[in-house]
Structure 1
Amino acid sequence: MHTTQSVQTYQKPHLSSVIGCRPVPTHAAPRSSAHPMAAALPLLLLLLVLALPAATHALTADGQALLAFKAAVLRDPTGALADWNASDADPCSWNGVACDAAGTGVRRVVALSLPRKGLVATLPASALPASLRHLNLRSNRLFGALPPALIAGATGLRSLVLYENELDGPVPAELGALPYLQILDLSANSFNGSLPASILKCRRLRALALARNNLTGQLPPGFGQELSALELLNLSYNRFSAAIPDDIGNLSRLQGTVDLSHNHFSGPIPASLGNLPEKVYIDLTYNNLSGPIPQNGALENRGPTAFMGNPGLCGPPLKNACSPSSNPFVPNDGDSAPAGARRSKGLGKVAIVAIVLSDVVGILIIALVFFYCYWRAVSPKKKGQGGAAGSKWSRSGKDCGCFSRDEPETPSDQAEQYGLVVLDQQVKFDLDELLKASAFVLGKSGIGIVYKVVLEDGLITAVRRLGEGGLQRFKEFQSEVEAIAKVRHPNIVTLRAYYWSFDEKLLIYDYITNGSLSTAIHGKPGTMTLTPLPWDARLKIMKGVASGMSFLHEFSPKKYVHGDLRPNNVLLGMDMEPYISDFGLGRLANIAGGASSFSQSDRAGVEKAKTQQPDASVSPLVSRGSCYQAPEALKTLKPSQKWDVYSFGVILLEMITGRSPIMLLETMQMDLVQWVQFCIEERKPSSNVLDSFLAGDSEREDEMIAVLKVALCCVQANPERRPSMRHVEETLERLNVSS
């Protein structure tokens, strides 16, 4: 993380204050220029001036707390702490350290992340910085206990990750003093003793991972009631005993696998476990559980593998049936009655009559359903509806489920395909690491939210979350997303992986560091600072976007149409190289059950323009997307390659003029294309059209005018008169770029 260090200034102390620090002589001294103290005074002042700056740069308290951790490190094979120097003004530039001013102007340490560094150390008993929010020391060789004093002062701690070390001793009860704790991962250590009840005070806890330790005893009473925010729970490979808490069914936010396997839990499986979300997989293997397996909710229709290793369990889906005495739903007449008498009584006349009646009722219901389906299928033919009957047959067959021929696979048939799907061998992280990563919202649109996701090893990705819903079109989604991933070009953002589940669809891309082209041209909304792009950078971006769009149109596997090209969808890298993003996104959103490639406001604007019904509050084409949409958008919502050419032409005009199409619409009721054409018709000087920052570069004005001509060709009202992107690319490449 790049942080700007504050500059500390030194103010020379007043001379009287310096003299006042000297001892007062006990007798008067004769006035003489040769007095020893008078001769030494300049030297003392010089030493004081030299000493004071050093004092102002003394290491902060946060840095001293981190140096206490460094002092406890016995081995640092990778040199992870080599730049931790006490002579620094603050620790914000140290490896693994992140700081934040948080509006106070004073930078404080908020994160310490040193995973997989091979550090051999005991954790110091001194307190961590009070401002610390995230501590990640996973996969090192830390040993000894987790000192309570280490975490007691960091009351704002959000995540504590000590996975895969050699720590032992009890889990500190002081964890309960961390009210903001959201992630606690102590897995793969040797912690022992019971889980302290104080952990229930961490009511914001979202992930609790304690797997592969030596923890014993029962879970604290109220575990499910107090920790209702949990989304991840892994207690496997410990020695927890006693019964599984009845209130565990309150954990309605759980996701993935609830892993209680390889423990000593005993007693019956609480029926409340069935109240967990049905998408959650519950692993109860290798415990001491007994009794019948409840058949409700999340426990229903589970395979036997979720319950193996519990000899006392019985009933479906296991093969060993439950005896009447072990089934709480079957009355027991007592042990005194002979087994033969109980069987005889259980199969009395009343029971036999009930069984027969239930069979008859079941057969009648099946017959009625079959008759209803048959009637729905043939009724259109009786009404003489001809060709329409075929479509109604198909629909009725699908509704009833008994005449369907082309039904897609059920979610259970596709279950093995759900999850994180890697599309590039360079992707080294898994779903667990992705879910544990820090995420920051980059932007929102009608299609979904885009996050900046920082993984524990420092890798940064961009993750787009699509709309929820829709499982029946998984194969279509899979085919489409894999085709998009095959599009590789230096000016197109690469899709690296995707995630598909019952209610979550994610697309994982490369993260592009310098933001969008829109921000580069106009600055961030709400800020006054803007560094204008020089002409060389603008021309480089124009050429790169043209090259990427030409590749999409001519050489990609499906000869894609972007359909939503605008400056917000052009991202800039470290050297201002452009990357086109979000192509093919509209179709993916439709398949996934989210919004289409047009926002609701765009659709409303198009429909109003079609019907010529102006709205007093909304001018035609005033929506943000419509500024870049070709005129034929008024007649059709299906984009074409010529539509992309028009959008690219508007972007060229925006980069040449420095004017925002949206602002022009709002202030002059004229879009950017109309404004440029108006300036040409009125024979305005080029300085009125060009960005004021570019207007003074007379040596490059010929290139700017050449690009302006290309842009005007691209925004022709007639699609047939627009050039292809390949031709545009070749024209721009012929322009010379001075070094």
Structure 2
Amino acid sequence: MSENRLFGKIPGSLGSLSYLMFLRLSGNNLFGELPSSLRNCTRMISIDLSNNRLSGLIPAWLGETMRSLLILSLRKNRFSGPIPLKICILSGLHILDLSRNNLSGSIPSCFGNMEAFKVELTDAEVAPYEGKLNVVAKGRILYYDTILYLVNSIDLSSNSLSGEIPVEITSLVKIVTLNLSKNHLTGNIPTDIGNLGWVETLDLSINQLSGPIPPSIASLDFLTHFNFSYNKLTGKIPTSTQFQTKVDPTIFQGNAALCGPPLKECVGDRTKTSDNGTNDEGETDDEDKLEKVWFFAVVGLGYLVGFWVFFGTLVIKKRWRIAYFRFIETCILELNEWSWSFLHKMLGYLTCRRNT
């Protein structure tokens, strides 16, 4: 019953539908809290209540009774309070969208225990099911139906979450979309963020994260959409194929102490020399010094030749020398005449202004 004009609270009588597996009421004008009677729907697979005006706490019984839940989307509502730890009990949950609410507190470290994001499940373990859902991925809203069971996504963006990004989240090696943007997260980006080998979308923008971007992030081969803008990140941007091909500097902007392509060049950045005496271009130190010597020698020689070609000609050619100095004299006289004329006009103008 999504995308209608339904108004009011979710009726508690829905809890009597004990065989209900899919509940999709997104895009309506529903308000109030989730009725506790829904805990009776123990066979629920998918809950999509996004784009409403639902409020209150996210109930812990979602994780206690709905052990078969695979999709939980409460996006764009007015839920407040912390993320319940009981959510981590849902071992099969592979789409969690709590974005655009008023959630506070920290990101539960137990997220690292959610099995659906850690192992590649076989068809026998997660059989294809019928479902439809809009998922925010790669910077836009994507609609999934027949392959929805293949999507692994966590979206906690646009809330008031604080604290550090838990290190345990780096164990979610099969996650495809991770969006933690527009919160109040602090601390460093976890060093082992490169363990998220399947991630395609990684958005950590508009937080208060500090420290360097971990070098391990350069190993994320499937990363196609990422954003680290408007944090307090420092140091040099890691060198990787993804970062070098992304010429859009907006994905790093808002980090004053961040440097390297595609931003400003790092201060004091020089061509590094390896242990065998060669730099990044395969040249030895002696070759590099020899090139510098030749460069300054050629520049100096060019200066001397140009100097003597001009002034030597004036010394040798008397007729050219006389013409040159006459030209200089004429220019000086004309300049003086113009200056006196300009001064005379200004005095006349100031005299007229004073008389009037």
Same fold (TM over 0.5): yes
| Aligned-pair CA distance for 1:198 | 1.2
What residue number does 1:288 align with? 232
> What amino acid is aligned across from residue 232 of structure 1 in structure 2?
T
Q: Would you say how many aligned residue pairs link Structure 1 and Structure 2?
A: 246
Residue 312 of structure 1, CA deviation: 0.7
Q: CA deviation at 1:140?
A: 0.6
> Does residue 270 of structure 2 align to residue 270 of structure 1?
no
Q: C-alpha offsets along residues 279-329 of structure 1, whole Å, 9 cap, x if unaligned?
A: 5122110010000111123223332222110001112221242336xx9x7
Number of the residue aligned with 2:6: 78
Distance in 1 of aligned mates of 2:9 and 2:238: 53
**1:143 matched to which residue of 2?**
55
* Contact 2:244–2:261 under 8 Å retained in 1: no
Task: Please tell me whether the aligned partners of residues 273 and 299 of structure 1 are also in contact (alpha carbons under 8 angstroms).
Answer: no
Distance in 2, Cα, partners of 1:282 & 1:288: 16
Indicate the residue corresponding to 1:152 in structure 2. 64
1:330 offset after TM fit, Å? 8.4
> 1 or 2, which has the higher strand percentage?
2
1:82-130 per-position Cα deviation (integer Å, ceiling 9, x unaligned): 9x796x9963xxxxxxxxxxxxxxx821111100121011124552521
Structure 1 residue identity aligned to 2:262: P
Equivalent AA in structure 1 for residue 26 of structure 2: P
Which 4+ runs in 1 deviate beyond 6 A? none
* Matching residue of 2:288: 355
Match of 2:166 among 220, 226, 229: 220
Check the 8 A contact 2:31/2:53 in 1, yes or no. yes
Matched, 1:323 2:282: no
Per the TM alignment, residue 133 of structure 1 is displaced from its structure 2 partner at its CA by: 0.9
* More RCO (CA 8 Å, sep 6+): 2
**1:408-423 paired onto structure 2 within 5 Å:** none
1:281 is matched by which residue type in structure 2? H
The aligned residue for residue 120 of structure 1 is 31
The alpha-carbon deviation at position 150 of structure 1 amounts to 3.7
Structure 2 residue 191 is matched with structure 1 residue 246: yes
Task: Look up the equivalent residue of 1:120 and give its one-letter code.
Answer: F
| Secondary structure of the structure 2 residue equivalent to 1:180 | coil
1:125–1:150 CA contact under 8 A, matched in 2: no
Q: List runs of 5+ in structure 2 lacking aligned partners.
A: 118-151, 275-282, 293-356
AA of the residue aligned to 1:153:
T
Secondary structure (helix, strand or coil) at the match of 1:264 reads: coil
Distance 1:209 1:85, change over 3 A: closer
Distance 1:203 1:356 in 2: 57
Pairing of 1:60-459 with structure 2 (within 5 A): 78=6, 91=17, 108-125=19-36, 127-205=39-117, 206-225=152-171, 227-255=172-200, 257-277=201-221, 280-303=224-247, 304-323=249-268, 353-355=286-288
In structure 1, the partner of 2:342 is none
Distance in 2 between residues matched to 1:156 and 1:314, nearest whole Å: 46
- Secondary structure at 2:115's aligned position in 1? coil
Cα distance in 1 for partners of 2:104, 2:58 equals 12
1-side partners of 2:162 and 2:286: how far apart?
52
Offset of residue 145 of structure 1: 1.1
Q: What residue identity is the alignment partner of 1:229? A: K
Quote how far apart the aligned CAs of 1:241 are: 1.1
Q: What is the CA-CA distance between 1:199 and the residue it aligns to?
A: 1.3
| Helix, strand or coil at the partner of 2:192 | helix
CA RMSD of aligned residues (A): 3.2
How far apart are the structure 2 equivalents of 1:90 and 1:171? 27
Q: What are the ranges of 5 or more consecutive residues in structure 1 without an aligned counterpart? A: 2-75, 92-106, 332-349, 360-739
Normalising by structure 2, report the TM-score: 0.62
* 1-structure distance, mates of 2:26, 2:255: 37
Residue pair 1:203, 1:228 contacting (<8 A) in 2 also: no
Asked whether the 8 Å contact 1:165–1:189 carries over to 2, the reply is: yes
CA distance in 2, matches of 1:292, 1:179: 38
SS class of match (2:111)? helix
Letter matched to residue 207 of structure 1: S
SS at match of 2:162: strand
- TM-score with structure 1 setting the length: 0.31
For 1:110 and 1:80, locate their aligned partners in 2 and report how far apart those are by CA, in whole Å: 22
Contact 1:134-1:158 within 8 A present in 2 as well: yes
Name the CA distance, whole Å, in 1 between partners of 2:57 and 2:225.
Answer: 33
